[in-house]
Amino acid sequence: MPYLIDGHNLIGRMTGLSLDDPDDEARLLATLRSFCARQKVKATVYFDRGVPGRTRPPSGSGLTARFIVPPETADDAILNHLSRLGREARNWMVVSSDAAVVGAARRLGARVLTSEEFTGVLRAALAPPAAPEKPDAPSRSELKDWEALFRSGRRKRG
């Protein structure tokens, strides 16, 4: 399922990112690019008052960045995108904690995750895989039992 993401809204909810950081958009795009690649999904992230052309994800990454020029806002652009989708909006996930965006997205039929919920999705998707658990070594007693079992099996077949 593709995502429409309210970029600055998400940055404000993510640990390790700050709207005061001049590289906040680039850092978010790097995280989302990894997410899209691992999950094999597409996402479009919208930023208010971003600097067009400054931070673009590489083509083929599954991620598109849109920098919205005032007077339009990222919220407007997300809702316009959903409106253009019509009935297909139900196949999209909107990520925002803005009550107006959430309400309008639901009315248009889209699914919604708050930015806080989506940070959990990101953490889970980008967490390093757990190391496989190494089984405990058998005790000497267990080894003797297995050896006896295998030896007795050979004799019966022969």
> 49-79 burial, b if ≥16 CB within 10 A, otherwise e?
ebeeeebebeeebbbbbbbbeeeebbbebbb
Does residue 87 surpass a pLDDT of 70?
yes
Does residue 58 surpass a pLDDT of 90?
no
pTM of the full structure: 0.77
Q: Please tell me the predicted confidence (pLDDT) of residue 143.
A: 85
* DSSP one-letter string for 110-154: -EEE-HHHHHHHHHHHHSPPPPPPPPPPPPHHHHHHHHHHHHHHH
- Ramachandran area for residue 16 (φ above 0: left; ψ -120 to 50: alpha; else beta): left
pLDDT tens, position by position, 7-56: 999 999 999 999 999 999 999 999 999 999 999 999 999 999 866 555 55
Q: Where are the domains of the chain?
A: 3-130
Between residues 124 and 149, the one the model is more confident about: 124
3-130 is classed in which CATH architecture? 3-Layer(aba) Sandwich (3.40)
- The span from the CA of 62 to the CA of 52, in Å, is 19
Which token pair is 86?
Answer: 């019509």
DSSP state, residue 42: -
List beta partners, residue 113.
95
Cβ neighbors of 112 (< 8 A, separation 6 or more) are 93, 94, 95, 96, 102, 105, 106
pLDDT band per the 50, 70, 90 thresholds, residue 158: very low
